[in-house]
Structure 1
Amino acid sequence: MPVDGRIARGDATRRLVLRRAVALASVDGLAGLSLGRLATELELSKSGVFALFGSKEELQLATIEAALEIFRSHVVTPASAVSPGLPRLRAACEKWLDYSEKRVFPGGCFFCNVGAEFDARPGRVHDAVAAASGSFAAFLRETAREAVALGHVDADPEVLAFELHALGRAANADAMLNGGTRAYELARRAIRARLAGAHFQST
């Protein structure tokens, strides 16, 4: 059965809008998004863009989901392909730092930025941001638990995952404010030292 041309065009326009939306939101925040602004910048019909999302909140929610898909493709998916345990935990940290340093999103880590924007604002957007950001924290915890279970590290997996995540977020914040790559270099050294210190030494 052939695909309706209008549906295909609508899907293509939605992808185009969301690509621009995630880039804008990473710099200006989700509150800075508007259907009118996106339509103007992309030279699209405002009514057509409104028909795709219906409201600013729905646009924000769709933007969060699009950003999460991009994040997973750069960090979680490649890290998951690495052997479980310590190798995967190292890969997750390296991929996260690479993702931030290479500016996959022009504003650095999308979820660090919008998390700070919505951390004290209750509602659907807050919950979506928290769930998306929390999914990577959960991935780090599970990977750390696997490393402990496999005898690769001797540490409290929740504390270890929290520390590793905190180092990555600190590097992102410092680099975005001050520029340069020094913060990423320091974070990589700190993460390697922490993992080396937690590495299980057989007797």
Structure 2
Amino acid sequence: MGKGEATRQAVLDSATEIASRIGLAGLTIGSLATHTGMSKSGLFAHFQSKESLQSQVLARAREQFVDLVVRPALAAPRGETRVRELFERWLGAGKAGASCCLFVSAAGEYDDQPGAIRDQLVRDHLDFFESVELMFRTGISEGDFRADADPAQFAHDVHGIMLAFMHAHRLLGDPAAEGRARRAFDSLLAAARAPK
């Protein structure tokens, strides 16, 4: 990786962290210049436009989320163990305020704003739902979950648990948020588990 690319990656990491605090819509080349101490012209040379910057920040956040959550889960044994690892990694990322929080806030910012950023967010969310469904479906084939269990419903429900957790943990500062999320997830698994 050349010096220019290394600089660009470092700036994207900073931009992703900034966007997770101020929102993706508030991230501009000017606000990034203010936060990083870099010149607007230097940043413009890397990103060309606000939309390009936002799009690249989403791509970087997706890479970070895959590295923190999805890839480690896929390294776990197939079945319930893998699904549980996914939840644990996702919960840890949510507690740390990592890239998953950017996807939650950006979804709220862009849910009714048509355009390229919203389209990318939709693709990213659907790709992740598909990953959760696939991990759960593998658990069915391994015999850990009931054959009639619905992978799409499971992905929907675990996503709901995580959204509630992030709301309670980050916005409300509820010290019971993690315990509640864990109990809800355990109940979801118990309802899906194949009879022994």
Structure 1 length as normaliser, TM-score? 0.90
Mapping 1:102-141, distance limit 5 Å:
102-105=96-99, 109-141=101-133
Question: Structure 1 residue 33 and structure 2 residue 27: aligned?
Answer: yes
What secondary structure, in the 3-state scheme, does the structure 1 residue paired with 2:72 have?
helix
> Gapped runs of 5+ residues in structure 2?
none
Distance in 1 (alpha carbons) for counterparts of 2:8 and 2:30: 14
Give the counterpart letter for 1:99 in structure 2.
A
Task: State the shift of 1:127 in Å.
Answer: 0.8
Distance in 1 (alpha carbons) for counterparts of 2:156 and 2:104: 14
Give the counterpart letter for 1:142 in structure 2.
L
Pair member with larger Rg: 1
Distance in 1 (alpha carbons) for counterparts of 2:4 and 2:125: 29
Equivalent of 2:154, from 160, 163, 185? 160
Distance in 2 (alpha carbons) for counterparts of 1:20 and 1:55: 17
Distance in 2 (alpha carbons) for counterparts of 1:27 and 1:133: 20
Task: State the shift of 1:9 in Å.
Answer: 2.7
Task: State the shift of 1:41 in Å.
Answer: 2.3
Cα 1:81–1:41 shift into 2, 3 Å: same
- Percent sequence identity is 36
Task: State the shift of 1:147 in Å.
Answer: 1.0
Cα 1:186–1:26 shift into 2, 3 Å: same
Aligned length: 194
Mapping 1:70-81, distance limit 5 Å:
70-81=64-75
Distance in 1 (alpha carbons) for counterparts of 2:137 and 2:193: 13
**Contact 1:101–1:181 under 8 Å retained in 2:** no
Between 172-181 and 83-92, report the one with greater CA deviation. Answer: 172-181
What secondary structure, in the 3-state scheme, does the structure 2 residue paired with 1:32 have?
coil
Question: Structure 1 residue 87 and structure 2 residue 110: aligned?
Answer: no
Distance in 2 (alpha carbons) for counterparts of 1:27 and 1:45: 21
Task: State the shift of 1:158 in Å.
Answer: 1.4
Between 18-27 and 62-71, report the one with greater CA deviation. Answer: 18-27
Equivalent of 1:67, from 46, 61, 65? 61
Distance in 1 (alpha carbons) for counterparts of 2:139 and 2:31: 46
**Contact 2:20–2:101 under 8 Å retained in 1:** yes
- Aligned-pair RMSD on alpha carbons? 1.5
What is aligned with 1:98?
A: 92
Distance in 1 (alpha carbons) for counterparts of 2:32 and 2:10: 10
Between 74-83 and 130-139, report the one with greater CA deviation. Answer: 130-139
Between 59-68 and 9-18, report the one with greater CA deviation. Answer: 9-18
**Contact 2:24–2:102 under 8 Å retained in 1:** no
**Contact 2:168–2:174 under 8 Å retained in 1:** no
Question: Structure 1 residue 147 and structure 2 residue 129: aligned?
Answer: no
Give the counterpart letter for 1:18 in structure 2.
L
